[in-house]
Amino acid sequence: MDYISQVLFVMCLLVAGYFLTKRINRIRKNIQLGKAEDRSDNPAERFKIMALIALGQKKMFDKPIVGLMHLVIYLGFIIINLEILEIILDGILGTHRLFAPYLGGLYIYLIIIFEFLAVGVIVTCVIFLIRRNILKIRRFWAYEITKWPRTDANIILITEILLMLAFLSWNASDSILQQREVGHYAGINAGPFAFSQWLMPLFTGWSDSAIMVYERFAWWFHILGILTFAIYVTYSKHLHIALAFPNTYFSKLAPKGKLQNMPVVTNEVKQMLGIPADPALETAPETPQPETPVEIGRFGAKDINDLTWKHLMDAYSCTECGRCTAACPANITGKKLSPRKIMMDTRDRMEEVGRSLEKGGPGLEDGKSLIDSYVTREELLACTTCNACVSACPVNINPLDIIIELRRYMAMEDAKVPGSWNAMFSNIENNMAPWKFSPSDRFNWADKLKETPQNGQ
């Protein structure tokens, strides 16, 4: 009978591993739809950012109470799941609490820590459910947070509560069986524990066989729940628990607000002005010229393949917390722009293209695009490029970069921008400033200061 249980457990592991690997591979391929970009510079600074932002949760503590609650869930999820190693080995080898004899008293202290965090996770998840569904915090009920995103958040919170309850009740029933010295539970001496002992009275009057059935049920529910949850996470906003680390490592190191010029355009302007161009973008004299003209890459971004892989990783890393949108002055003043929606739209478009390619469909040639089909021009025109969304994001996502690339396409490829923009572009080209005044007249206003009395004279 034990062998049947072991075989069944291994089969569950293999099935979960298959679906998890398949999904991770699909996410990887979707991210690779983006253009290449080198983010390998300055590794020391990147590790520092990752340690502070992803591991240290630095930005979450802009709101201290919420940040502390999130830290509890974060630590609970990471640390409690360390016990998965023992559960997996027990399932494969047919043992029970394999590490207990080797760790001795330390094992009991570790389980007590796990239980303390489990209780913290349960309390925090309940508070988050209340914030979302009873208090209805505004940023969780914005127009872009439709039925599915709200349901997804609730599923995650409820699942974490159930997993923690299964963990605690499993410890409680296991401790009772150890005390009664039933079967292989005898002699383990790994309980009772700090919090689960308060659940032990619930099993008063239960027979040994009934408690054994429940103990096995709680054990299986806990591990199968974790395996299922691991797969589900890759389809949900909770994917940020994994991608927060690489996403913060590959953060943009340039100062916030500094726009990156397009190398091809910069090179052309330099050539027109007689300035030496970038050799990497020039054709060597001895290189034979092609008979047909080389196709120039698209200016800006129309679809996800015009964005970089980092932009697409940003989309998958989005937690949908809404801090970016809550900080956006355009959104605050009633405009349609929501940086969170920009990231959600980018991810949805990636998923749509990825599913199509997986089925041998048209992929990017389906007649849709990120701009217009998902993101409206009204949203893009509302952005003031203030970087509030970038500063607010707890995992260093940069919605502004995507907005800029989409607007570049609007201006340089589609030529569908407001008339005031064209006037501004002309002024910048002619006067090197967005205003219509000549550079030579810039300080005319200062001449009037000579005629103004100073210090009462």
Q: How far apart are CA 418 and CA 381, in angstroms?
A: 9
Structure tokens at 335: 């405009």
pLDDT for residue 297 is more than 90: no
Q: How far apart are CA 169 and CA 190, in angstroms?
A: 15
Contact 206, 182 (CB under 8 A): no
DSSP 8-state code for residue 275: P
pLDDT at 439: 78
Q: How far apart are CA 26 and CA 302, in angstroms?
A: 22
- Residue 308 has φ and ψ, to the nearest 5°, of -90, 165
- Residue 407 has φ and ψ, to the nearest 5°, of -70, -35
**Weakest mean pLDDT among 217-221, 287-291, 298-302:** 287-291
- Residue 111 burial (CB count, 10 A): 26
pLDDT at 286: 46
pLDDT for residue 278 is more than 80: no
pLDDT for residue 178 is more than 50: yes
Q: How far is CA 9 from CA 15, 72, 89, 91, 411, in A?
A: 10, 30, 10, 6, 58
Structure tokens at 250: 């590959």
Q: How far apart are CA 331 and CA 450, in angstroms?
A: 44
Residue 428: pLDDT band (50, 70, 90) is confident
Burial class (CB in 10 A: 0-12, 13-18, 19+), 337: buried
**Largest separation between any pair of C-alpha atoms in the chain:** 104
pLDDT at 292: 42
* Per-residue pLDDT tens over the stretch 6-33: 999 999 999 999 999 999 999 999 999 9
Residue 444: pLDDT band (50, 70, 90) is confident
pLDDT at 456: 56
What average pLDDT is seen over the chain?
89
Structure tokens at 89: 């080995």
Residue that is written with structure tokens 């409206």 in the block: 376
* Per-residue pLDDT tens over the stretch 246-274: 999 999 998 887 888 887 788 777 878 88
Contact 50, 326 (CB under 8 A): no
Name the packing angle between helices 208-233 and 2-31 (round to 10°): 20
Name the packing angle between helices 43-50 and 240-249 (round to 10°): 150
- Mean pLDDT across 187-213: 90
β-bridge mates for residue 371, sequence order: 375
Name, in order, each residue with C-beta under 8 angstroms of 414's C-beta and a sequence gap of 6 or more: none
Structure tokens at 340: 């969170």
* Per-residue pLDDT tens over the stretch 351-393: 999 999 999 999 999 999 999 999 999 999 999 999 999 999 9
Parse the chain into domains and list their residue ranges.
Answer: 2-31+63-249
* Per-residue pLDDT tens over the stretch 105-150: 899 899 999 999 999 999 999 999 999 999 999 999 999 998 899 9
Q: How far is CA 326 from CA 338, 396, 400, 449, in A?
A: 9, 16, 15, 43
* Per-residue pLDDT tens over the stretch 321-341: 999 999 999 999 999 999 999
Q: How far is CA 1 from CA 7, 10, 84, 317, 427, in A?
A: 10, 15, 23, 44, 83
Contact 246, 39 (CB under 8 A): no
Q: How far apart are CA 18 and CA 13, in angstroms?
A: 9
pTM above 0.85, yes or no: yes
Contact 344, 318 (CB under 8 A): yes
* Per-residue pLDDT tens over the stretch 58-80: 999 988 999 999 999 988 878 88
Helices vs. strands in the chain: H and E counts, helices first: 20, 0
pLDDT at 446: 80
